[in-house]
Amino acid sequence: MKRNALNELEAWKRKSKKKPLLIRGARQVGKTWIVREFAKTYTSFVEINLDEQPEVHALFDQFFGKPKMLIQQLSLLMGVEITPQKTLLFIDEAQENKNSLMSLRTCPKIT
């Protein structure tokens, strides 16, 4: 199962234009672990947990519908430059903020 999941993530990474990837599944089945493993294929990795970092909720609310500004603010908050194709941005427990999921679903394709 680990190999299949990583293969699926690698296929997503190879797409020239991609939408944010939502990973869904039951609790405690290894979703976070597999993303962290996949992150090793990127230059940098930013992990935000909306359950443990409630201060981020305000950014999703304030910059809803403005993905470039949201990414800039997340970069500042996390102290890491988020660069397309080089940084994997992982938002764990995204369901904790309805605007985070809506922002991701309406995000334009990233090149």
Q: What confidence tens digit (pLDDT) does each residue in 5-19 have?
A: 899 999 999 988 877
pTM: 0.83
The stretch 15-26 carries a mean pLDDT of 80
Q: What's the rounded mean pLDDT across residues 13-36?
A: 85
**Cβ contacts of 62 within 8 Å, gap of 6 or more:** 73
pLDDT tens sequence across 91-104? 998 888 888 877 76
Q: What is the pLDDT of residue 21?
A: 81
Residue 89, SS3? strand
Both tokens of 82, joined, read 């988020």
Q: What integer pLDDT is reported at residue 1 of this predicted model?
A: 58
At residue 39's C-alpha, the angle toward residues 32 and 56, to 5°, is 60
- Contact indicator for 91, 104 with CB cutoff of 8 Å: yes
The DSSP bridge partners found for residue 46 are 89
Beta carbons of 79 and 36 less than 8 angstroms apart = no
Q: Where are the domains of the chain?
A: 2-106
- % of residues, the chain, pLDDT over 70: 92
